Structure 1
Amino acid sequence: MEDIRDRILRPGVNCGQLARAHRAAVLIDGESYFAAFRQAAMKARRQMFILGWDIHSKVELLRGDAAVKAETDGAPITLGPLLNHLAQNNPELEIYILIWNYSMLLSLERDPNLRFNLGWTLHPRVHFHLDDEHPIGASQHQKIVVIDGQIGFCGGLDLSHYRWDSSDHEPDDPRRTTPAGDHYGPYHDIMMIVDGEPAAALAELCTERWQRATRKSIDVHGQNQWDAWPETVQPWFKEVDVAVVRTEPSYKSRQEVREVETLYRDSIRSAQRSIFIENQFFTSTVVCEALEERLREEHGPEVVIILPKEVDGWVGNKFMEFRRVNILKRVLKADVHGRLRLRHPWVGEQPKHGVMIHAKLMVVDDIFLRIGSSNLSNRSMGMDTECDLAIEASSPEQEAGVRRLRNELLAMHLGFPTDEVDNLTKETGSVVRVVDLLSDPERPDSKPRGLGPLEAQEEQFPELVSEAEIVDPKRPLEIDRLLDIFIPDETTQHSWLRAKWLWVVLGVLALVGLAGAWHFTALSDYANREVLAETMAGMARGWTIYPLIVLAYLIGGLVMFPVTVLIGATAILLEPLPAMLTAFAGTQVSAIVLYFAGMKLGRERIQSMAGSRLNRISKHLAKHGMLSVTLIRILPVAPYTIVNIVAGASHIRFVHYVFGTLLGMTPGILAVTIFTDRLLAFLRQPDLSNVLIMIAALVFLVVLTRWLKRRFT
């Protein structure tokens, strides 16, 4: 294997740039980060940037004794009032907050009314914006704070609720509550703080993202004649080169940046003795393949991976867990030499409480560390916008800082002093051995915390493969490429034409949640074609079956029932020609009713929510009229119901919509009815002719689908 140890960090290849920081330090867990942020923020003179996945104005930055001590400094300890206080008392200070304008799919993970429930009236110089300048389904996942271009924070922590915790991770810490008073479990995360050139680089990144999201340019205003470094934070590194590592998805005219993925691969390849990882997710096939290769080597490095026992959140439980199970099985199978340890942290005695791992950390040997926002997931490699900071030690003092981080984290998780972990690591020469020795419950000095084995559970949701592909894709979805046909890059338009993207289109992903409901609730029973056929056959005889089927299409459209299932059920109930005609009638009636519903709802409500974004995209779609509708009907890039409602709220003419729907639905209706008829014929009479006809129909469907995809992408 090629030795790339001498040059892990390569600007332009696996990082954007290497910049010299006078000081850098690691902040372990929310208690230290929130306090350091407040101290630095209170020193801001001209400019502050906050980029995040989430934010909550009512989060308390200081808790317990720290909050009591802060009463004398005259500044609020709650985020929103603190930012207003800073702006009010410094007429030169401008504060910019850029938060992800999230998809409906993750609305259960965050406050669905973030813009309206911030809990405070913003000062005129506190500028807040929801960032939707990203591919559909992607997120602005960077967690960055920059103060006067001089001090920069970067890592896994948002200034939001459910984030604060101390490094003790006590099971019943009364300080660990949300602004609403809800108690939550232990939570672990990490941030890095830097000054000097890396902080200036982060500031430039923030201005670029602000300009993309708002179409307003701002300059970085730095202040170098004073020190904004938090007084309670001691530097871990001095005069150290720090790499800024990014993921930027391809979007409009922008090319993708995959530095995060490349650096993961390069750093794993460079490891000589040990790889230590903490991460929220582990679903990345690239990282999995790199670790598999190293684990199969006879003299490869040890690998310790610390993950949460269960994937957190609605999306995680329903979709990401399926991917993680497969990845864990793969690396366990590759561990032919017994050098892998998969662990989850726990605290308490009876019962044991799992610690939520939200950190995104990697330490390789004693020379390399990275901290940032990127998960070990496919979407962090090429779909979401990410930012990590990385250090490659170039002196014994810097190596000591890297080693200190790994050993402090092990000591925290295992409940032993850092010195003891450090000495044991030197004595055994093995991180795996330290984990095994200090995790032994039979030790007389064992603690009420530890690192338990993480086993690959049985696949609980094998039917969600396709949905998991949507939730954790490697690149932006095909729908973005389709929409680019109709929507030119805003950067090429005159300023009076510039507007935001279509917020309503993000609602497409809400259908993924409905798909989960079909899988996990009794609703799935009604999607069974046999049940549907028996039910409808018992309801009507003779000609009355036809209006009932059309009515089923109308009701199905209103409740977002899959139209393909309805077409298939129609093909089961009726002969091919009546089935085709009835399916055409049903889809047209449903489409027309929903079009007018969208027109009524959209003109008065949808446009009030999405504003100029909907107007802009609908005007571009209207230029292509019937072609736009036909394309979207043919390609499975948007749910039937959503297309109908958005079309009604758009500028697409009704006649173009009707004929486009008729043309676009024709291939699908013909394919489903013919194939279903041949399948039923085969089941009734499995002779050679029916077998050949069914095979020919299947081949035709596959070829047609591939041709259409190739033609339109």
Structure 2
Amino acid sequence: MLLYEGTTCWRVGVAPRAAFLLDMADYFLAARDAMSKARRSIHLLNWAFDPDTLFDPEPGCTGPDADRFGAFLKELAGSRPELDVRVLCWKSPMPIAATQDFFPLKARKCFAGTPVKFVLDGALPLGASHHQKVIVIDDAVAFCGGGDIGPDRWDTPDHLDNNPRREKTSHDNKCFDSRHEVMTVVDGAPARALGQLFRDRWLRATNETLPEPDVLPPSAWPASVKPDFRQVSVGLSRSVAAWRQVKQVRESEALYLTSIAAAKRCIYMENQYLTSPIMAEALAARLAEPKGPEIILISTQHSPSYFDQMTMDRTRSVFLKRLQDADKYGRFHAYSPITALGHTIIVHAKMAIIDDVLLRVGSSNLNNRSFGFDTECDLSIETPRGARGAAQRSRILDIRTRIIAHWFGCDDRVVQAALHKAGRVGSAIESLRLAGYCRLRPLAPTPIGPMATFIATFHIGDPITPHDSWRPWTRRARLKAALAAAARKVQRAGLPTPPRRLSKKSI
């Protein structure tokens, strides 16, 4: 068991239905379908929320105003007085808001004087962000993952070059970059728990207590989504920084460490970043084992923003080198995806598949701030071992196959055949690359100069906790303490234990 309340997760419950959504085109349509069926409430948590986002952009990135998130929510709230519609969005600093088309100002203006209750949430330490991405409908069905509401988030699994449906405006030829996101949708107890997550955040931001519903209406499950799982165990893991009367929560970090330590065959990860020395050390320890699991990492070739290129990308290069050096048995494979014409696909997904027993999707990056500085929420599906969980475990492997196939732009059966012949995921990917499927290219460390070395050494832009957010010279000590504390906590719970110390190569 990897999902353990109070250690690796906040809540564990059985979902009557759960589904995995690959990329945002399907998510946006599923969310619109579910929200249109709402009877009591629609509650949104987001890092970014742009009300002009189209659910289903037409060629030229056009569409009727009614097909935009903001107008849709206003119409629902206006036509159904009994419906409680709330949007809680991070109160981002102006320089960051500017990179996202000033979404806080646009949303505030959009919802002013309407029944939609829109709040910018700045109740957190200076420099931290609210990074959760959740939609809860009636406390009966909920979406959770890594995708925000913004025009640049929309894409299909084809990741087509020059897709007119990703054009920034209707009068130029520029397109948003291809972008990869993943989400989940669940109903039942996990959806109700995500409703409580929203109420907790709303109380913290506004001092207003929202009542918990006594009786829930039928689940507004989106008709377009076929459940991947039924009656499956689902856990919710959070990150919360210590701030004023709020206690620190590091469940997201604990689940990563425990599941990495427990893996027997394969750790498949997709993430925007890899800058956490704690995660690098945990992965390196498994690579050093003669019979440890193989590790597959999918990440973007380079971050879209210059700041992230200077901070996150440089540190990632150091840790890629660390993992390559630890890989004595040829089990580490890192790749960045490209389109058919060789353009970068932005990997914004934050997910992991551990063997065939855990499927994890959420908002947590593999960086320091996601585990103890920012506010995060991840949803994990855990399947039973033995014959009882065989069908669910098979479904997790089917999802992993589907993801790999989508990277190569091929049919699932092509990947299944390669896996059957190679016996290992990394070997199958390499065989497909040799066969001409070249949309995954190796992601290798690059040499870094003195300034980049300084940034990586002190993790500039990537705090561990609020205590070191403005004192980067204390971060190495904080990292050591955080890993030791996490190891003690999971050991007390009887869970697989990660390394207790950071090697000199990881700090």
TM (norm. structure 2) is 0.87
Letter in 1 for 2:183: M
Pairing partner for 1:290 from 251, 264, 282: 282
**Alignment-mate amino acid for residue 433 of structure 1:** S
Give the direction of change, closer, same or farther, for the CA distance of 1:215–1:224 in structure 2 (3 Å limit). closer
The partner residue of 2:447 within 458, 461, 482 is 458
- 2:188 aligned with 1:196, yes or no? yes
Where relative contact order (Cα < 8 A, 6+ residues apart) is larger, the structure is 2
Q: Is the 8 A contact 1:56 1:118 kept in 2?
A: no
SS in 2 for 1:162: helix
Does residue 310 of the first structure (1) align with residue 299 of the second (2)? no
Closer, same or farther: CA 463–294 of 1 in aligned 2, 3 Å: closer
1: distance between equivalents of 2:102 and 2:152?
Answer: 16
**Aligned pair in 2 of structure 1 residues 289, 280: CA closer, same or farther (>3 Å)?**
same
Partner in structure 1 of residue 399 of structure 2? 405
Amino acid at match of 2:346: M
Q: Is 1:385 the counterpart of 2:380 in the alignment? A: no
- Distance across 1 between alignment mates of 2:221 and 2:111: 29
Partner of 1:365: 355
Bigger share in helix: 1
- 2:110 is aligned, of 107, 111, 120, to 120
* Per-residue Cα deviation, 1:571-624 (whole angstroms, up to 9, x for no partner): xxxxxxxxxxxxxxxxxxxxxxxxxxxxxxxxxxxxxxxxxxxxxxxxxxxxxx
Query: Aligned letter for 2:141?
Result: I
Give the superposition deviation at 1:316: 0.7
Return the offset for 1:354.
1.1
- CA distance 1:403–1:218, change in 2 (3 Å): same
State the 1:459 CA deviation: 1.2
Any idea what SS the aligned residue of 2:19 has? strand
The CA distance in 2 between the partners of 1:294 and 1:381, in whole Å, is 21
1:347-378 Cα deviation digits (max 9, x unpaired): 123xx111100000100111111000000001
Look up the equivalent residue of 2:275 and give its one-letter code: T
Q: Which amino acid is the alignment partner of residue 422 of structure 2?
A: T
Q: Does 1:374 align with 2:364?
A: yes
Partners of 2:108 and 2:118 within 8 A in 1: no
Amino acid at match of 2:19: A
Equivalent position to 1:64, from 58, 68, 84: 58
Q: Could you tell me whether the CA contact under 8 Å between 1:308 and 1:356 is conserved in 2?
A: yes
Task: Flag structure 1 segments of 5+ consecutive residues without an equivalent.
Answer: 1-6, 482-511, 513-634, 637-713
Would you say the 8 A contact 1:106–1:315 is kept in 2? no
Query: CA separation in 2, counterparts of 1:407 and 1:119?
Result: 44
CA distance in 2, matches of 1:236, 1:470: 40
Partner in structure 1 of residue 218 of structure 2: 226
Is 2:250 the counterpart of 1:253? no
Runs of at least 5 residues in structure 2 that lack an aligned partner in the other structure: 475-507
**Which entry has the higher C-alpha Rg, 1 or 2?**
1
Once the two structures are TM-superposed, the CA of residue 470 in structure 1 deviates from its matched residue by 4.3
Give SS of 2:45's match.
strand
Deviation at 1:426, TM superposition (A): 3.1
User: 1:175: which partner in 2?
Assistant: 165
Give, as a single letter, the amino acid of the residue that structure 1 aligns with 2:160. E
Percent identity (aligned)? 34
- Superposition pairs for residues 37-52 of structure 1, below 5 Å? 37-52=31-46
With over 3 angstroms needed to count, the CA separation of the structure-2 counterparts of 1:399 and 1:463, relative to structure 1, is closer
Indicate which of 5, 10, 13 corresponds to 1:16. Answer: 10
1:104-143 alignment runs, 5 A limit: 104=94, 106-112=96-102, 114-116=104-106, 120-122=110-112, 124-143=114-133
- Counterpart contact for 2:24–2:156, Cα < 8 Å: yes
Q: Provide, for residues 218-252 of structure 1, a one-character-per-residue CA deviation record: whole Å limited to 9, x for no partner.
A: 12347644330000000000001100000011111
Q: Which position in structure 2 is the counterpart of 1:648?
A: none
Normalized per residue, the structure richer in strand is 2
Contact kept? 2:315, 2:459, Cα under 8 Å: no
From 429, 435, 440, the counterpart of 2:423: 429
Once the two structures are TM-superposed, the CA of residue 430 in structure 1 deviates from its matched residue by: 0.6
Using the TM superposition, give the Cα deviation of residue 466 of structure 1 relative to its aligned residue in structure 2, in angstroms.
8.0
By how many angstroms is 1:288 displaced?
Answer: 0.3
Tell whether the 8 Å contact from 2:160 to 2:339 is kept in structure 1 after alignment.
yes
Equivalent residue number for residue 217 of structure 1: 209
Say whether the 8 Å CA contact 1:319–1:464 is kept in structure 2.
no
Change beyond 3 A, Cα 1:253–1:291: same
- C-alpha displacement of 1:396: 1.2
SS at match of 1:120: helix
Corresponding residue SS for 1:60 = coil
Map of 1:155 onto structure 2 = 145
In the alignment, structure 1 residue 244 sits paired with structure 2 residue 236: yes
Structure 1 residues 464 and 161: alpha-carbon distance in aligned structure 2, compared to 1, 3 A threshold: farther
The answer (yes or no) to whether the contact 1:58–1:179 under 8 Å persists in 2 is no
Contact 2:276 2:366 in 1 (8 A): yes
Q: CA deviation at 1:116?
A: 4.6
Given the alignment of the two structures, is residue 32 of structure 1 paired with residue 26 of structure 2, yes or no? Answer: yes
Separation in structure 1 between the aligned mates of residue 371 and residue 156 of structure 2, nearest angstrom:
30
| CA apart distance, 1:325 | 1.2
SS of the residue corresponding to residue 99 of structure 2 reads coil
Alpha-carbon deviation of 1:121? 4.2
